Amino acid sequence: MELAWRRHAACRGLDPEIFYPETDEDVEDAKDVCGSCDVQETCLEFALQGREKEGVWGGATEKERRRILRQRRRAS
């Protein structure tokens, strides 16, 4: 997958720790950044395709991404 989209990411240059919170309750800062990002959907698709297991990607936590993948499998 082409990674040029990362140059346009709102998280570029931010502390990565924001996107790897210790608990699901601590994800709001990351989700706020993702919510204002021009490449949020592309980032989420990247994480889904790569089966990223940790962190917030495209505004979705690991649990949320697993749910999205389950829903897609059921729909196909």
Rounded Cα–Cα distance for residues 17 and 5 (Å)? 20
pLDDT digits 0-9 by tens, 1-58: 578 999 999 999 999 999 999 987 899 999 999 999 999 999 999 999 999 999 999 9
Residue type, 4: A
The predicted structure's pLDDT at residue 1: 57
Angstrom distance (rounded) from CA 56 to CA 64: 9
Q: Distance between CA atoms of 25 and 1, rounded to whole angstroms?
A: 31
Confidence (pLDDT) at 18: 96
Distance CA 21, CA 5 (A): 23
pTM equals 0.91
The predicted-structure confidence for 58-69, as pLDDT tens digits, reads as follows: 999 999 999 999
For helices 40-49 and 62-75, the axis angle rounded to 10 degrees is 80
